[in-house]
């Protein structure tokens, strides 16, 4: 992410919240649903990294869809900007009312009820403010599995996950957030409620409207409820930490792992040594699973819904055989299979704490890009060379959801360099990275979205036809441009 100082503030041509409108908001959501105190508003107007702090006239916290609808209608009638917000863990500034905002933040946090679990039909109906981890736990209590899983799962909310079409560590098997949804309820920019809360696997009745709102980052409407898909709960799980030769070995390993695991690969995460070291430095309680003479590691997890049979071959046996074969092939240099849940948790904690560790380490740059899986090694080689040519002392710590072709191409600033100084290199580095990924038919944003941070990059890299289609949709659904204005898409 480039530094805030580099961002060009989008113009947000919306009306202020007057005292009379505040009274009407209070009448809709009550005192409990309205935050006006500057100190209390602060967590809602500051982004997760603490790099952007904006302003909003009020933080409004409706308790149900009817209240969301009434608040949005009031804003629509008066031309007031709305920034929808879930857990505020997004990394692109999309949920932040930045810079100064005369509108409101609409927080979904009070809409946190699981409305129905249908284990037989493998579906669950939930409100948008449910914390992701709560949904995973709820599914588990019904012997089912909700596969969306990411480092922020203890605080991000399903409405935010769907609005960013979040990825995470199980995409390779289950798909992105949008693939986990059967139906949605959405409050549109004029306050109307679209009831698409259907649990249908098949429905070919014209445009599939739910996909418009997923990944839209709150620019088209407010997701208030969702019907989510469930899967059988995993019963036989094996997690391993592998020291590997290089990124090419990683993709070859993954390619072989599908058959070796009987098509049970759940996750395959590439970590650089620098990345692992950074986590070990900053996150108390994490332990290095394996010290080896290599720059690259792989966190590999296989899981099956079939319980391990006494005397039969389970996931750990298969993994052991696989690792022995791969050691012999020279792709794996060393490996450890988690023998206890605590060991597996430690491996996952290292992977999922990267964002926290990088926040603690200091200013950095991170590019969330994707490319065809087989081209990842080439991208990493060429990208590192291009960035180091610009700033030789920058400290790379690449990692990625390698099974999705998604590399978090990340760098810490050189030791001792502050944010302002790093920003002087940021534009040039951003350009070489994004030019390279585009020349390789990749994407400049694999999973974190656009928000404010990549507004200009989207404009630069999407074709005129694509931008025209997006603007046409935005203008049709949000003619007054009140839904998260200045995010994702420049209208002019």
Applying CB under 6 A, the residues found at the interface with ligand FAD are 48, 83-91, 94-95, 108, 128, 150-152, 156-157, 159-161, 163-164, 166-168, 217-218, 222-223, 355-356, 447-448, 451, 484, 487
State the residue number with the nearest CB to ligand FAD. Answer: 160
Q: Is 44 exposed, middle or buried (0-12, 13-18, 19+ CB in 10 A)?
A: buried
* Least Å from the CB of residue 259 to ligand FAD: 26
CB 231 within 8 A of CB 192: no
- Pick the closer one to ligand FAD by CB: 123 or 455: 455
* Least Å from the CB of residue 94 to ligand FAD: 3
What is the Cα 8 distance to its own chain's centre?
23
Contacts for 401 with CB less than 8 Å, ≥ 6 apart: 167, 168, 169, 171, 172, 268, 269, 446, 447
- Pick the closer one to ligand FAD by CB: 187 or 337: 187
The DSSP annotation for 429-457 comes to: HHHHHHHHHHHTT-BS-SSS--TTTTHHH
Residue owning tokens 């790379």 = 396
- Pick the closer one to ligand FAD by CB: 178 or 395: 178
- Pick the closer one to ligand FAD by CB: 163 or 264: 163
Q: For residue 441, which phi and psi values (nearest 5 degrees)? A: 60, 35
- Pick the closer one to ligand FAD by CB: 168 or 442: 168
* Least Å from the CB of residue 388 to ligand FAD: 26
* Least Å from the CB of residue 314 to ligand FAD: 28
CB 156 within 8 A of CB 445: no
Q: Are strands 82-85 and 104-107 parallel, antiparallel or unpaired?
A: parallel
Rg of the chain over Cα atoms, rounded to whole angstroms, equals 23
* Least Å from the CB of residue 432 to ligand FAD: 24
| Strand intervals (E) in 323-419 | 332-337, 364-370, 395-396, 399-401, 406-412
* Least Å from the CB of residue 254 to ligand FAD: 18
* Least Å from the CB of residue 163 to ligand FAD: 3
- Pick the closer one to ligand FAD by CB: 218 or 266: 218
- Pick the closer one to ligand FAD by CB: 94 or 314: 94
């Amino acid at each position: 992410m480039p530094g805030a100082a580099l961002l060009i503030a989008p113009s947000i041509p919306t009306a202020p919240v007057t005292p009379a409108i505040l009274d009407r908001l209070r009448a809709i959501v009550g005192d409990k649903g309205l935050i006006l105190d500057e100190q209390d508003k602060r967590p809602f107007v500051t982004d997760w990294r603490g790099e952007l702090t904006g302003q909003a006239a009020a933080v409004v916290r409706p308790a149900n869809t009817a209240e969301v609808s009434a608040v949005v209608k009031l804003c629509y009638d008066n031309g007031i900007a709305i920034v929808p917000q879930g857990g505020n863990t997004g990394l692109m500034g999309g949920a932040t009312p930045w810079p100064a905002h005369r509108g409101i933040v609409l927080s979904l946090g009070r809409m946190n009820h699981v409305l129905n679990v249908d284990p037989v039909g493998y579906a669950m109906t939930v409100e948008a403010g449910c914390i992701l981890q709560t949904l995973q736990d709820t599914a588990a209590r019904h012997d089912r599995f909700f596969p969306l899983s990411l480092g922020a799962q203890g605080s991000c909310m399903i409405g935010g996950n769907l609005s960013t079409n979040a990825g995470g560590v199980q995409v390779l098997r289950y798909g992105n957030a949008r693939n986990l949804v059967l139906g949605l309820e959405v409050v549109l920019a004029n306050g109307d409620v679209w009831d698409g809360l259907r649990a249908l696997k098949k429905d070919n009745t014209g445009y599939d409207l739910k996909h418009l709102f997923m990944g839209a980052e709150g620019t088209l409407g407010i997701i208030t409820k969702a019907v989510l898909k469930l899967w059988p709960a995993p019963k036989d799980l094996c997690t391993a930490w592998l020291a590997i030769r290089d990124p090419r070995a990683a993709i070859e390993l993954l390619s072989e792992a599908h058959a070796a695991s009987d098509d049970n690969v759940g996750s395959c995460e590439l970590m650089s040594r620098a990345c692992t070291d950074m986590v070990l430095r900053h996150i108390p309680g994490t332990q290095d699973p394996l010290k080896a003479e290599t720059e690259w590691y792989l966190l590999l997890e296989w899981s099956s819904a079939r319980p391990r049979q006494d005397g039969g071959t389970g996931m750990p046996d298969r993994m052991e055989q696989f690792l022995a074969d791969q050691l012999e092939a020279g792709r794996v240099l060393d490996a450890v299979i988690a023998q206890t849940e605590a060991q597996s948790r430690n491996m996952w904690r290292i992977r999922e704490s990267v964002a926290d560790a990088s926040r603690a380490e200091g200013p950095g740059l991170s590019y969330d890009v994707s490319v065809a899986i087989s081209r990842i090694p080439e991208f990493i080689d060429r990208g590192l060379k291009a960035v180091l040519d610009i700033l030789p002392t920058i400290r790379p710590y690449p990692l990625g959801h390698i099974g999705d072709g998604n590399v978090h191409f990340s760098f810490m600033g050189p030791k001792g360099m502050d944010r302002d100084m790093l920003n002087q290199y940021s534009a040039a580095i951003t350009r070489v990275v994004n030019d390279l990924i585009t020349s390789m038919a990749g994407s400049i944003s694999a999973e974190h979205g656009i928000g404010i941070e990549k507004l200009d990059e989207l404009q630069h890299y999407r074709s005129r036809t694509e931008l025209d289609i997006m603007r046409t949709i935005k203008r049709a659904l949000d003619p007054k441009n009140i839904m998260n204005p200045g995010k994702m898409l420049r209208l002019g």
